[in-house]
């Protein structure tokens, strides 16, 4: 078991982080989230 983990840890890590990246990208580019993202673009320009 430990040999499998040491031999394939790079591939497993790459697949894990790539799948998380894809999930975040797909979730943030949905049309229903567009209004929420558009409201965040003006945050640095807002006065306190």
Is 37 within the bounds of a domain? Answer: no
Domain, as residue range, for 14: 1-32
The pTM of this model reads 0.62
Confidence of residue 11 (pLDDT cuts 50, 70, 90): very high
Contacts of 28 (CB under 8 A, 6+ apart): 37
pLDDT digits (tens, 9 = 90+) for 27-42: 988 888 888 888 888 8
Domain annotation covers residue 46 = no
How far apart are the C-alpha atoms of 37 and 33, rounded to whole Å?
A: 6
The terminus-to-terminus CA distance of the chain in angstroms comes to: 56
Domain total for the chain? 1
Q: Does 42 map to a domain?
A: no
Q: What angle do CA 32, 34, 37 make, to 5 degrees?
A: 130
């Amino acid at each position: 078991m430990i040999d499998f983990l040491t031999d394939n840890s790079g591939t497993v890590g790459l697949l894990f982080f790539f799948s998380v990246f894809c999930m975040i990208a797909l979730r943030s580019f949905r049309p229903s989230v567009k209004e929420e993202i558009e409201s965040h673009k003006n945050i640095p320009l807002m006065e306190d």
